[in-house]
């Protein structure tokens, strides 16, 4: 019997027990097979209540980000079509890169419970402790020219921010280019790595790190002031697989919009959701620090800054200093 179908059935009836008979009719298996699978699920951390004669009710999921748990919540068509789960990895970016080289499909994701060499933007490291967050990379193969790569960076921010808003009492804001913050503290970061030839992007690997269940005191050092988790604002622990499914759903819908209609709607949504535009900023690029007022995003996805001498500088990549 397919364990997922049993889980889906239990999920669909979380408000009432489902009898062994009903399950065996629905899934066309014997009642003994049902009972065996229920025991198997329990061993895997699912809490399933068994009321005598009334049947089984799924009370709680394990807090795992494994393939099955994610699939249970997934409502996408392409994104998440292939899921690679590992308990511990160096970086999920590496897992997806290997898959991309072997011809992995667009929409493939790698998820890990822990990363021991989690990478951030601009060569930084990314703290990815076990159990607490979502450490996930997504493989895309958009057929666009390499100069449009920054658009995908901004698209990722919009998709992720909108998904996370569904779990928070207040909306998040995007800090250019793609930090997701609440009250100026970072909830999530995105690392976009691209392989391209002269004319076309070959692969884009979008790495997302989301702080989910860290409690006060779990962020140490400089992160104590700068980072935040969803739990700290939502007040309760959150289901990581459910959030992953919401992110992929939101991502798929923005990605489809982008592939069909171009960057216009993404640009508008990003501009609406950022707290960067209109502010006086200092951006550190690889060559210099640019100071001025953040004006707008260009059609290619770069940031335009008006400097104090009135001139306008376009910044393609960098970090805004707080």
Structure tokens of 71?
């699939």
* Residues of this chain, 96-135, that bind ligand BTN according to CB under 6 A: 115, 118-121, 124, 126, 128, 135
**CB of 109: closest distance to ligand BTN in angstroms?**
10
Looking at beta carbons only, is 313 or 317 nearer to ligand BTN? Answer: 317
Residues 6+ apart with CB under 8 A from 135: 92, 111, 112, 113, 114, 115, 118, 128, 209
**CB of 41: closest distance to ligand BTN in angstroms?**
28
- The interface region with ligand BTN, picked from 78-86, 204-212, 256-264, 307-315 by CB under 6 A, is 204-212
Instruction: Give the whole-angstrom CA distance, residue 214 versus residue 91.
Output: 20
* Residues of this chain, 71-100, that bind ligand BTN according to CB under 6 A: 91-93
Question: 3-class DSSP state for residue 148?
Answer: helix
**CB of 181: closest distance to ligand BTN in angstroms?**
11
| Contact indicator for 232, 214 with CB cutoff of 8 Å | yes
Contact letters (x/-) for ligand BTN, 255-294, by CB under 6 A?
----------------------------------------
* Angle, CA 318 vertex, CA 315 and CA 322 arms, to 5°: 110
> Which strands sit side by side in the sheet containing 179-182, from one edge to the other?
83-89, 109-115, 133-140, 201-211, 185-196, 179-182, 173-175
| Contact indicator for 190, 133 with CB cutoff of 8 Å | no
Among 20, 55, 142, 189, the residue binding ligand BTN under the rule CB under 6 A is 189
Looking at beta carbons only, is 17 or 301 nearer to ligand BTN? Answer: 301
Query: Applying CB under 6 A, which residues contact ligand BTN?
Result: 91-93, 115, 118-121, 124, 126, 128, 135-137, 179, 189-191, 207-209
């Amino acid at each position: 019997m397919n364990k997922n179908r049993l889980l889906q059935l239990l999920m669909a009836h979380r408000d009432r027990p489902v009898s062994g008979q009903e399950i065996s009719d629905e899934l066309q298996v014997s009642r003994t097979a049902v009972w065996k699978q229920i025991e198997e699920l329990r061993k895997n951390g699912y809490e399933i209540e068994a009321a005598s004669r009334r049947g089984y009710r799924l009370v709680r999921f394990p807090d795992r980000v494994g393939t099955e748990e994610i699939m249970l919540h997934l409502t996408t068509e392409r994104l998440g079509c292939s899921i690679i789960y590992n308990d511990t990895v160096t970086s999920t970016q590496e897992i997806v890169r290997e898959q991309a080289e072997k011809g992995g499909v667009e929409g493939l994701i790698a998820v890990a419970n822990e990363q021991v060499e989690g990478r951030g933007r601009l060569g930084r490291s990314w703290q990815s402790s076990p159990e607490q967050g979502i450490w996930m990379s997504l493989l895309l193969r958009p057929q666009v020219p390499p100069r449009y790569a920054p658009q995908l960076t901004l698209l990722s921010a919009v998709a992720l921010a909108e998904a996370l808003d569904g779990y928070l009492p207040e909306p998040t804001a995007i800090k250019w280019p793609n930090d997701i913050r609440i009250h100026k503290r970072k909830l999530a970061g995105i690392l976009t790595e691209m392989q391209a030839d002269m004319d076309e992007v070959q692969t884009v690997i979008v790495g997302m790190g989301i702080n989910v269940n860290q409690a006060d005191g779990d962020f140490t050092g400089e992160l104590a002031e700068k980072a935040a988790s969803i739990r700290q604002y939502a007040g309760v622990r959150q289901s990581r697989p459910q959030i992953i499914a919401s992110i992929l759903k939101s991502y798929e819908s923005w990605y489809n919009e982008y592939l069909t209609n171009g960057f216009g709607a993404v640009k508008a949504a990003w501009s609406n959701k950022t707290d960067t535009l209109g502010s006086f900023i200092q951006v550190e690029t690889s060559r210099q620090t640019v100071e001025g007022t953040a004006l707008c995003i260009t059609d290619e996805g770069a940031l335009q800054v008006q400097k104090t001498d009135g001139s306008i500088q376009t910044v393609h990549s960098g970090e805004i200093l707080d």
